[in-house]
Every structure is written in C-alpha cells, then in structure tokens.
Structure 1
Amino acid sequence: MAELLDKPQSFVSKYESGERRLDLIELRYICRAIGISLEEFVRKFENIVNSDE
C-alpha cells in the first residue's frame, strides 16, 4: 500500500495499527490506489454498518 500511495511504510503502518486516523483526502487516495471510488467505498461501508443494526 505504501508503494501505491508513494508514502513511507511508517505512514501506512500508523493508520493500519490505529495509531493515527485517516482524513478524507487520504481515504480518497487509498480508494484510488485500490481501484474503487470514494463513493463506492462509502456505499459499501454504509451497507455493512446498516446490516449490523
């Protein structure tokens, strides 16, 4: 992931471990790196959250 984002591994490791939170811009970059839109990510996230209610 760090390579796809052109960021140091320590940057990615910190949010993977929960040491830091992502902001919306960073989440958008991650979505692009894995080949989905931010909108698609949010839609899938909402489906998961709503199915747990």
Structure 2
Amino acid sequence: MIRPILFHPDPRLKKACSDVVDITDAVRGLAEDMLETMYDAPGIGLAAPQIG
C-alpha cells in the first residue's frame, strides 16, 4: 500500500520513532509499504518518520 509522505515542516517529523524489537508480520507489512511508497515517490530514500 502506498502511504502518504510527510514533508517539512510537518511537526510529526520531529517525533522520535520507536525501536523495532521483534520482526512481526506487522513490521514486515510496514517495510513492504515503505518500499512501495519509496519506489512510487520521487527521491532515493524514505525514513520511517516520513510515513508517520
């Protein structure tokens, strides 16, 4: 699923992300969404905070 990307100056970009402790199905799904979103968007990378 392609997710909306947050851009500066969105205040959510300043919030620290949680550490990934266990690789669960939910984490795998999020990683797949991030890849799909990154390949769809202009640019060369994507950070977790950018998708909220």
TM-score range, shorter chain: 0.3 to 0.5
TM-score (norm 1): 0.33
TM-score (norm 2): 0.34
Q: Which has the higher contact order (CA 8 A, sep 6+)?
A: 2
Please say which structure displays the higher CA radius of gyration.
Answer: 1
